[in-house]
Chains A and B, each alone.
Chain A
Amino acid sequence: MENNKNSDPRFKIAHREALIGVGLAIINFVWWFAFAYGLGDQTPEDYTYIWGLPSWFVYSCIGGFILMAVLVTFVVTVWFKEVPFDEEGGGPE
Chain B
Amino acid sequence: MNVSVIIPLLLFLILIFFFGLWSSRQLHASQNFLEDYFLGGRQLGGFILAMTMTATYGSASSFVGGPGVAYTQGLGWVLLAMSQVATGYFVLMILGKKFAIMARKYNAVTLIDFLKGRYNSKWVVITSALSIIIFLFSAMAAQWVGGARLIESITGLSYTSALFLFALSVLVYVIIGGFRAVALTDTVQGIVMFFGTLILLVATIIAGGGVSSIVADLSAENPNLLTPYGANLDLTPSYVSSFWILVGVGVVGLPQVTVRAMSYKSSKAMHRALIIGTIVVGFIMLNMHLIGVFARPILPGIEVGDKVMPLIAQEVLPPWLAGIVLAAPMAAIMSTVDSLLLLVSSAILKDVYLNYVKPDASNQRVKKLSITITAVLGILVFLMALNPPDLLIWLNLFAFGGLEAVFIWPVVMGLYWSKGNKYGALASMLVGIGSYIAIDQMTTTPLFGMHTVVLPVLSSLVIYVLVSLFTQHKVTEHQH
Interface residues of A (CB under 8 A from B): 1-3, 5-6, 8, 10-11, 13-15, 17-18, 20-22, 24-25, 28-29, 32-33, 36-37, 40, 43-45, 47, 49, 51-54, 56-57, 60-62, 64-65, 68-69, 72-73, 76-77, 80-86, 90-93
Majority DSSP secondary structure for residues of B touching A: helix
Count contacts on B: residues with CB < 8 A to the other chain.
58
Question: CA of A72 to CA of B100 in the docked complex: distance in angstroms?
Answer: 20
Tell me whether B121 is interfacial, beta carbon within 8 Å. no
Question: What residues of A have a CB within 8 angstroms of the CB of B279 in the complex?
Answer: 69
Q: CA A14 – CA B228 in complex, angstroms?
A: 37
From A33, A47, A80, A84, B241 is in contact (CB under 8 Å) with A33
Distance to closest chain A CB from B241 (angstroms): 6
Seen from chain B, the residues whose Cβ lies within 8 Å of a Cβ on chain A are: 31-32, 35, 41-42, 75, 78-79, 82-83, 85-86, 88-90, 92-94, 96-98, 100-101, 104-105, 107, 210-212, 214-215, 219, 223-224, 226-229, 237, 241, 244, 248-249, 266-268, 271, 274-275, 278-279, 282-283, 286, 416, 418, 479-480
Contacts of B98 in A (CB 8 A): 11, 14-15, 18
Interface pair B278/A69, CB less than 8 Å apart = yes
Q: Across the interface, which residues of B come within 8 angstroms of A82, CB to CB?
A: 266-268, 271
- In the assembled complex, 12 residue pairs joining A and B whose CB atoms fall closer than 8 Å, in A order, are A1-B105, A14-B101, A18-B93, A21-B94, A37-B228, A52-B214, A60-B79, A68-B88, A68-B282, A85-B104, A86-B104, A93-B41
- Roughly how many angstroms separate A90 CA and B283 CA in the complex, as a whole number? 38
A60 proximity list for chain B (CB < 8 A): 79, 82, 228
**Are B85 and A80 in contact (CB-based, < 8 A)?**
no
Say yes or no: B228 contacts A56, CB within 8 Å: yes
Asked whether B97 lies within 8 Å of A14 as measured between CB atoms, the reply is yes
Cα A57 to Cα B31 in complex, Å, equals: 53
Contact B75 A57, beta carbon cutoff 8 Å: yes
